[in-house]
Structure 1
């Protein structure tokens, strides 16, 4: 069996980082972010990155750290969230922004992993999302063409993994991670727990090990909870 387990996040990323690369990073809000691997990309200072991620991090969390060093050149995402640094850099023209409807983005990633270069969807028809995209009519309805998303490197976060690279995600931390694991030329997975071969129930595996090139134990396992923002009612 090919040795997939690496001793640290830094070693797991050796030889795969380069300026100008495209990185897919799993996560949705605070759930399922490959924090340990992101920290090593930050330390490496890899720049001019195209990052494919749901929301490019939150304040003082995840991909936000790459923004502090201006490492991201382009972001393909579906949500700016409450990440003020991300918003400021996009508005200043420092980052090229490609916004996607969330379901469309998920399908573009899945298509990349499945080897499907393009597909058609009704989502975005008649909006700015459709600008510049080919359109075609099917059964009397207009659809726009979307293309796959692929990456030089996919970094994902799972709950458990075994020596073969099989992964199990826990609850909402599953999010974009399984699809992203299939769409990278190289996939590096960090897991909270590495278990022995045969310990995972085959029926419970979300990502087969064939998609995972390198596996590493997480060094950062924060369990943050999103803040509830309450807007006070206007006085009349």
Structure 2
């Protein structure tokens, strides 16, 4: 038995992801997205995917390329505002959407990875998040085909004050796809600054975690104190190099400079 988790290519790494699989995908906007793995999945044309990710990229990059190819059946996200095709598919009834508050989504992934079945949070109390009725899928005529169900709400005393909390179930998925700056052959990962975002949480939630890394190093080369995600959560590591394309959603510059 070997602890070496390296895979020769992205195509090999995603080769067993089947039709209808559920995926947790790291990244925030276009920051820290596992684009090489996404492209490899696109080339395989695996469809009917249920994807959990903060957002769905943009029309021609990130998860948006899978969406544009009609390969995603359902998205569980907290933000969808940068993708026109996402809006079109959702409003036309082609795509199911489970809209989830951002912090709640992060904790649902973390809880799934930690083996916690559910948790209570104040976020969403008194709204359709708790009371149900949020449109998840529309009919082609614009009427609601599937609405979110009501969730259990319970009162707890916190700091001497009774408050209401809504029960949120954890998320686990068949696979997780993440991008890291550095990783070793045992799967220990280091993320680059804000590219850390949802990636450790998504990795934890996937039953099989596939990580693309810019730099592959030998075990022991990463200081244990610098490890952001231990290799116990990672099953496959693919080195993609440092010259991969990285895009910015909205480039903002100051006039005159």
TM-score range, shorter chain: over 0.9
In the alignment, the residues of structure 2 paired with residue 221 and residue 148 of structure 1 have an alpha-carbon distance, to the nearest angstrom, of: 33
Runs of 4+ in 1 over 4 A off after TM superposition: none
Deviation at 1:156, TM superposition (A): 0.4
In the alignment, the residues of structure 2 paired with residue 152 and residue 203 of structure 1 have an alpha-carbon distance, to the nearest angstrom, of: 29
2:72 maps to 72
* Equivalent residues of 2:177, 2:211 under 8 A apart: yes
* Equivalent residues of 2:59, 2:68 under 8 A apart: no
* TM, length-normalised to structure 2: 0.86
Q: Gaps (5+ residues) in structure 2? A: 133-149, 253-257
* Equivalent residues of 1:58, 1:81 under 8 A apart: no
- Map residues 83-232 of structure 1 onto 2, 5 A cutoff: 83-130=83-130, 131=132, 132-139=150-157, 140-218=162-240, 221-227=244-250
In the alignment, the residues of structure 1 paired with residue 41 and residue 251 of structure 2 have an alpha-carbon distance, to the nearest angstrom, of: 30
1:36 maps to 2:36: yes
Q: How many pairs are equivalent?
A: 229
Deviation at 1:228, TM superposition (A): 5.4
SS in structure 2 of the partner of residue 31 of structure 1: coil
1:233 maps to none
In the alignment, the residues of structure 2 paired with residue 71 and residue 96 of structure 1 have an alpha-carbon distance, to the nearest angstrom, of: 12
Residues 3 and 14 of structure 1, relative CA distance in 2, 3 Å threshold: farther
1:14 maps to 15
Deviations 1:35-75 (A, max 9, x none): 00000111111111100011111131111111121111110
* TM, length-normalised to structure 1: 0.94
